[in-house]
Amino acid sequence: MNTRQLLKKSLFGLLGLFFSASLWAHGGAAGTDTDQCKFELEPTHWLHYTAYQPQAFPAEEFCGSLPSVNTPTQLVFDYQDMRYRNMAIEFEVTKEPEGTRIFFQPAQKHKSGTVMLDLAKGVPDAGKYLIHITLVPDQGERLDAHMAFKAGVGAATSKSSILLYVFFALAGLYVLYLSNAGFKRKVDGVIADIKS
């Protein structure tokens, strides 16, 4: 096989990986075990969270930090466990450490398992915020869960963008390794040194 064919096959293989739904599910995490955008409602019961600022960053997903303040923001929550779909859930967002409420949605049931909170004006100031989620069952105790995030933290690069940059950097190095004999010898030498 010549170098051109090798490069072509490598490119198609990398594109196949890039467009693989399982690779990019939950912002590039390979499943909920490594998903950083989730929080625990109860032991072994998780809620996935994604934030968007569609006017400022239309193609970006965010989790623990939002780049902009005073920008329309959407917080989206997904839960798979069917029993949560039959419970009323209350949402509140507060500015910390003072605990000032900036958003509140009274308890209601969400049969689809997805809830989108629309913070039309976004968050007012840079700093730390806390999402409070309260499960309100028909009977029994209320259950509270919390997740912190920061706003106005500067760089607008989300976790998914960083993973994309890393992916292409590694792909470029791999193609260079396959197509350049001198580079391949150096890499193979380093690997041999590490093994010994």
**What are the pLDDT digits (tens) for 32-68?**
444 568 777 777 777 888 999 999 888 888 888 899 9
Residues of the chain with pLDDT > 90: what percent? 30
The Cα 162–Cα 62 span in angstroms is: 11
- The model's pTM is 0.61
Output b/e per residue, 125-148; b: 16+ Cβ within 10 A: eeeebebbbbbbeeeeeebebebe
Q: Indicate the pairing of strand 65-66 with strand 143-151.
A: parallel
Domains of the chain: 1-31+157-196 (no CATH), 36-155 (2.60.40.1930)
